[in-house]
A and B are shown apart, each in its own frame.
Chain A
Amino acid sequence: MPDRPLKRILMLDDDPDLLGVVVLALSGLGGYTVEACAFPAEGLERARSFAPDLILLDVMMPGMDGFTTLQALRRIETTVDTPVVLVTAVVEPSDLALYDELGVAGVVPKPFDPGTLPETLEELWKDHLVGRRLGTRLAEVDGAS
């Protein structure tokens, strides 16, 4: 498969402040086209028309949690096999095992460094292109020594 570049990113998270930061970091630093949505139902509609290359998905959202949203995304033609990266503070080993079973492309633990988020996503994107998924890949926790 030729190396298709990562261009369009959709982020679903119920925290509008965090969405603002991520949009700034990804569009400003990474030069991506970014859509962000704080409501899962609305996000699903957006996913249909936006056809993202990659989706950043919060796990704990009121109304519709990340897992239900993920299932719904898999039923939408434009996102049926779009790589989904979970962005969550819940990254215990048992949770990671569950995420892996769900077939997500990676996990970005909250909190993360917005400055290095584009690099992190590029790495996960590369892994996705070569079909590499040896267990859920956990991005480095920001600042961990």
Chain B
Amino acid sequence: MNAPPAGLAEEYSLALREYFADGGEAALERAYELGRQAQLEGLGVLELAALHQAALASVLRRRSDNAQIAHRAAEVFAESLAPFEMATRRFQEANTLLSDRNEGLEQQIEAARREERRKGEFVCQMGHEVRTLLASVLGALWTLESGRAGPLSDEAQQLAAATYRKGQRLVHLVNDALEREKIESGAVRFALRPVELRPLLERAVETSEPNASRHGVALVLGAPLSSATLRADGERLLQALKTLLSNAIRFSPPGETVVVGSSRRGPAIRVAVTDHGPAIPQDLREHVFATFTPADPVLAVERAGRGRGLSTSRAIVERLGGRVGIDSGTEKGTTFYFDLPEWRGDALTGNDSGGARA
């Protein structure tokens, strides 16, 4: 900060005194020019204020009608300050508005989170209640079907057996909904690490082998990509892959093969499970991985022999930053696949927080 040049303060005071002594516009213009000159000299705000203050004080010392001058000076100051005051007021208003909106948004977000938690708790409680009741229902059906409650006619025995199987499907549905809820709500933590593709595919095929041979289906592992490493949680991904395999096996005609393949798709790696089960009509494909289950399409999907556990697989793959898809009705058969990011050694160091929603 600089001090006002010598003489400038004196000249400025003189000009103001003249103006207040009815020196007219010329005196005011001279004062204005001197004020500008002071600005051009690079004086800081405080120095300028001190300059004006000193000049006004010198005017007041020399005049008897101090009150009038003071009033006038106040008016001059008020006028010059008015734009700043208005700007400040608008700024404050905008600030208040923004902070109100912010608060509103925060409340909305909090309400959405509460609703999400409430939904999650509801799904869990409902799931536990349903499973508890199913224990009784399935137990009773088992008693009937196994003949332990007395002999049944063939027809009644078949009915009990069929109902027992449907009850077990209901258990799967409920377990699936609970599992999906846990994954989507972030209650399940995902540890993202480099996962080598080949051993993962081998493990999935190996653990699904007994299931495949029960259904008379052959599992074939296509040549996996060499040195491909996924960015994933190995155990969770294995769970998703086993679900794809389980579905493919369940709905393959006996004697057919289910092929597990892999390929590169741009920056992603695709893992695909292809079977020769019934094709999935185009209009039902979007429902196969559906989280929500609008009754008719999903029933149709189930009847077409698809859909069990797939929404959980989708939730897992999406939490891992990938996507799922279907190709069906081609000469090759039906392919369920997921594309996952490849591991880039330096890009990631730690664990998923587990809190993010896909």
A positions within 8 Å CB-CB of B: 15, 17-18, 20-22, 24-25, 28, 60, 89-90, 92, 109-115, 141-145
Q: Is the CB of A143 within 8 A of B132?
A: no
* Cβ contact of A111, chosen from B135, B148, B178, B246, cutoff 8 A: B135
Q: Is the CB of A21 within 8 A of B132?
A: no
**How many chain B residues touch the partner (CB < 8 A)?**
32
* Cβ contact of A21, chosen from B124, B136, B167, B175, cutoff 8 A: B136
Q: Is the CB of A24 within 8 A of B135?
A: no
Q: Is the CB of B142 within 8 A of A89?
A: no
Q: Would you call B52 an interface residue if the criterion is a C-beta within 8 Å of the partner chain's C-beta atoms?
A: no
State whether A89 and B128 are in contact (beta carbons under 8 Å apart), knowing that A17-B140, A111-B171, A143-B168 are contacts in the complex.
Answer: yes
List A contacts of B243 (CB < 8 A). Answer: 145
Within 8 A of A (CB), among B161-203: 167-168, 171-172, 175, 178, 182, 187
A121–B146 alpha-carbon span in the complex (Å): 20
List B contacts of A25 (CB < 8 A). Answer: 139, 142
Q: Would you call B138 an interface residue if the criterion is a C-beta within 8 Å of the partner chain's C-beta atoms?
A: yes
For the complex formed, measure the closest distance between the CB of A55 and the CB atoms of chain B, giving whole angstroms.
18
* Cβ contact of A28, chosen from B148, B171, B172, cutoff 8 A: B148
Q: Is the CB of A92 within 8 A of B140?
A: no
A41–B129 alpha-carbon span in the complex (Å): 23
B positions within 8 Å CB-CB of A: 124, 127-129, 131-132, 134-140, 142-143, 146, 148-149, 167-168, 171-172, 175, 178, 182, 187, 211, 243, 246, 250, 308-309
A89–B134 alpha-carbon span in the complex (Å): 10
Cβ-closest chain A residue relative to B249: A145
A109–B250 alpha-carbon span in the complex (Å): 24
List B contacts of A18 (CB < 8 A). Answer: 135-136, 139
For the complex formed, measure the closest distance between the CB of B348 and the CB atoms of chain A, giving whole angstroms.
25
A9–B289 alpha-carbon span in the complex (Å): 44
Q: Is the CB of B143 within 8 A of A114?
A: yes
A15–B131 alpha-carbon span in the complex (Å): 13
List A contacts of B167 (CB < 8 A). Answer: 111
List A contacts of B250 (CB < 8 A). Answer: 145
Q: Is the CB of B172 within 8 A of A21?
A: no
| CB-defined A-B contacts under 8 Å, sample of 23 | A15-B135, A15-B136, A17-B136, A17-B139, A18-B136, A21-B142, A24-B148, A25-B142, A60-B132, A90-B128, A109-B131, A110-B131, A111-B131, A111-B134, A111-B135, A111-B171, A114-B138, A114-B139, A115-B142, A142-B171, A143-B171, A145-B243, A145-B250
Per DSSP, chain A at the interface is loop
A24–B145 alpha-carbon span in the complex (Å): 13
Q: Is the CB of B131 within 8 A of A89?
A: yes
Q: Is the CB of A145 within 8 A of B211?
A: yes
Q: Is the CB of B131 within 8 A of A21?
A: no
* Cβ contact of B142, chosen from A109, A110, A114, A145, cutoff 8 A: A114
For the complex formed, measure the closest distance between the CB of B205 and the CB atoms of chain A, giving whole angstroms.
15
For the complex formed, measure the closest distance between the CB of A27 and the CB atoms of chain B, giving whole angstroms.
10
List B contacts of A90 (CB < 8 A). Answer: 128
Cβ-closest chain A residue relative to B165: A143
For the complex formed, measure the closest distance between the CB of B246 and the CB atoms of chain A, giving whole angstroms.
5
List A contacts of B124 (CB < 8 A). Answer: 92
List A contacts of B131 (CB < 8 A). Answer: 89, 109-111
Cβ-closest chain B residue relative to A108: B135
Q: Is the CB of B171 within 8 A of A21?
A: no
Cβ-closest chain B residue relative to A144: B175
Q: Which of B135, B136, B182, B243 has the most CB of A within 10 A?
A: B135
List A contacts of B171 (CB < 8 A). Answer: 111, 141-143
A109–B174 alpha-carbon span in the complex (Å): 13
A25–B148 alpha-carbon span in the complex (Å): 9
A145–B132 alpha-carbon span in the complex (Å): 20
List A contacts of B309 (CB < 8 A). Answer: 145
Q: Which of B134, B171, B175, B211 has the most CB of A within 10 A?
A: B171
List B contacts of A92 (CB < 8 A). Answer: 124, 178, 182, 187
Q: Is the CB of A113 within 8 A of B134?
A: no
For the complex formed, measure the closest distance between the CB of A12 and the CB atoms of chain B, giving whole angstroms.
14
